[in-house]
Amino acid sequence: MNTTTTFPLLNAINELETHFDFQAIAKAKLQETGLPTVRDEAWRFTDIRALNQLDLPVASTDTEFEDTDKWWSKGIVNAVTVPYVNGDFDINAELPEGVKLYTCNTAPEELKSQIGSALTDDKTPFVDLNHVLAKKVMILHVSKNADVSRVIHIKGITSADVQVHPRILVIAESFSRVQIVETWQGPAASRYFVNPLSEFVVNAGAIVSHTKLQDDSKTAFHIASIFVKQYGDSQYINHAVQFGAHVGRNDIVAELAASNSVCTLNGLYLPTAKQIHDTHSLVHHAMPHCESHELYKGALSEKGQGVFNGAIYVHKDAQKTNAYQTNRALLLSDNAKVNTKPQLEIYADDVRCSHGATIGQLDKQAMFYLQSRGLDPEVAKAMLTVAFTAEAIADMPEVELRDVIDDMLIEHFSN
């Protein structure tokens, strides 16, 4: 197949010289098979033709960008901010005690060798694209036993008319605790493509909170891949909130690779206008006595489309697994749509798994009750919708950020 004519987005890789084997392999694969289309099962409801058609240059140091200070600062108190602008960051950024920042050529060998270690075979072609086009890998190393007191805020910013492939590796050594917040933004109403690939290596007994807020331009494309590898007695808590992008997608793969680890994947998707918000999650229960909890809520308005595909894979050694998954969607307009598909594959016999999905509308009696007390229908609707979404972010440890998200939700649903 001539992938360049079908996928102008891939023009960026053709001229590129690769430096490593894995890059060369990824490049060849992309040139061979191209990017996903609605003919691929995992992309059936997420039409990215418009993205595939974009012939965008990869952001370079020449790319103009606005002052990083004017971007996200709300609700993240006591945080250390690491701007990640057009795929580049300042290696000398100040970080709290217990955390060190590296990139490939500054990282010690034992860290560098962990790049890619959390990746599984469940990779989309966008992981390959990131392999080929990522410029500077951000490695955050949290040392053993460190209890990091300040939130680390990775402030992702993308300029108009470029494509960017941020690459993040977080290594939390044993018994460390850390909170990472990612925010993603770009100039309003501008068009760009951001394709972050993050890996989290959560070692024994470590506790990692990872909150990701996607607030990109409503005409941009945000396709993210998150891979988590958890070792014994560790906890990983993810909250992913999607507000922005024309197409926003998170592919989250968590591997519970040792016993007694707990993985929580919660999130919100809020497509409106013609936005598509897609969440594909996959939890591998590879070892016994692990738990996974997943709660997603979607509130969709206008012609918004939601896709939720939650897979739980219980491998044969994973006895005593507890895996729970719920996806609830609220359709606020007749034209909004959600496609939800739970996928359970269980190869162990002593497990507790459940999944549930509901699609509903606003409770008319509740609407009337609120209105009869004087509340304008729009306010009543916002109040009920925010109440509906609350559960999915209730456990977000960054409480101040959650309050900001609440305000954003009220504003989002009030117009």
Partner 1 sequence: MLSIRNLKAAIEDKEILKGISLEVKPGEVHAIMGPNGSGKSTLAQVLAGHPFYEATEGDIEFQGKDLLDLDPNERAGEGLFLGFQYPVEIPGVSNTYFLRNALNAILEYREEEPMDALTFKKLLKEKMEVVGMKDELLKRPVNTGFSGGEKKRNEIFQLLVLNPKLAILDETDSGLDIDALKVVSDGVNNFRNEENGVVLVTHYQRLLNYIQPDFVHVLMEGKIVRSGGKELALELEERGYDWLREEVN
Scan for tokens 């972010």, then name that residue.
Answer: 393
Position 376 contacts partner 1 (CB under 8 A): yes
Which residues are 222's β-sheet partners?
194, 248
- For residue 356 the two structure tokens come to 């549930």
Q: Give the range of 47-55, 164-172, 208-216, 378-386 binding partner 1 by CB under 8 A.
A: 378-386
Position 365 contacts partner 1 (CB under 8 A): yes
Among 5, 61, 92, 372, binds partner 1 (CB under 8 A): 372
Which residues does 163 contact at the CB level (< 8 Å), separation at least 6? 9, 12, 54, 56, 57, 58, 59, 133, 192, 193, 194, 195
Q: Are the C-beta atoms of 231 and 259 separated by less than 8 Å?
A: no
Position 57 contacts partner 1 (CB under 8 A): no
Least distance (Å) between residue 90 CB and partner 1: 41
Q: Give the range of 166-174, 254-262, 303-311, 359-367 binding partner 1 by CB under 8 A.
A: 359-367
Size of the site for partner 1 (CB under 8 A): 23
Nearer to partner 1, 20 or 369 (CB): 369
Position 181 contacts partner 1 (CB under 8 A): no
Q: Give the range of 152-160, 184-192, 241-249, 362-370 binding partner 1 by CB under 8 A.
A: 362-370
Nearer to partner 1, 19 or 374 (CB): 374
Position 375 contacts partner 1 (CB under 8 A): yes
Residue 263 sits at φ, ψ, to 5 deg, of -125, 130
Binding pattern for the stretch 24-53 against partner 1, x by CB under 8 A and - elsewhere: ------------------------------
Least distance (Å) between residue 330 CB and partner 1: 12
Position 368 contacts partner 1 (CB under 8 A): yes
Cα separation, 21 vs 32, whole angstroms? 16
Count Cβ atoms within 10 A of the Cβ of residue 116 and give its class: 0-12 exposed, 13-18 middle, 19 or more buried: middle
Among 38, 50, 91, 366, binds partner 1 (CB under 8 A): 366
Residue 112 burial (CB count, 10 A): 16
Position 373 contacts partner 1 (CB under 8 A): yes
Position 362 contacts partner 1 (CB under 8 A): no
Binding pattern for the stretch 291-320 against partner 1, x by CB under 8 A and - elsewhere: ------------------------------
Least distance (Å) between residue 356 CB and partner 1: 17
Position 347 contacts partner 1 (CB under 8 A): no
Which residues does 101 contact at the CB level (< 8 Å), separation at least 6? 82, 89, 91, 93, 95, 138, 139, 140, 141
* Inter-CA distances, 35 with 2, 125, 187, 357, 366, Å: 12, 6, 26, 30, 45
Position 410 contacts partner 1 (CB under 8 A): no
Q: Are the C-beta atoms of 230 and 236 separated by less than 8 Å?
A: yes
Position 414 contacts partner 1 (CB under 8 A): no
SS (H, E, C) 26-47: HHHHHHHHCCCCCCCHHHCCCC
Which residues does 16 contact at the CB level (< 8 Å), separation at least 6? 27, 132, 133
Cα separation, 225 vs 408, whole angstroms? 25
- For partner 1, the binding residues in 380-399 under the rule CB under 8 A are 380, 383-384, 386-388, 390-391
Cα separation, 160 vs 94, whole angstroms? 28
Among 1, 14, 377, 407, binds partner 1 (CB under 8 A): 377
Nearer to partner 1, 132 or 396 (CB): 396
Least distance (Å) between residue 336 CB and partner 1: 20
Nearer to partner 1, 348 or 383 (CB): 383
Among 110, 374, 399, 415, binds partner 1 (CB under 8 A): 374
Nearer to partner 1, 92 or 372 (CB): 372
Cα separation, 162 vs 58, whole angstroms? 6
Cα separation, 46 vs 278, whole angstroms? 7
Cα separation, 412 vs 414, whole angstroms? 6
- For partner 1, the binding residues in 194-233 under the rule CB under 8 A are none
Contacting positions for partner 1 (CB under 8 A): 363-366, 368-377, 379-380, 383-384, 386-388, 390-391
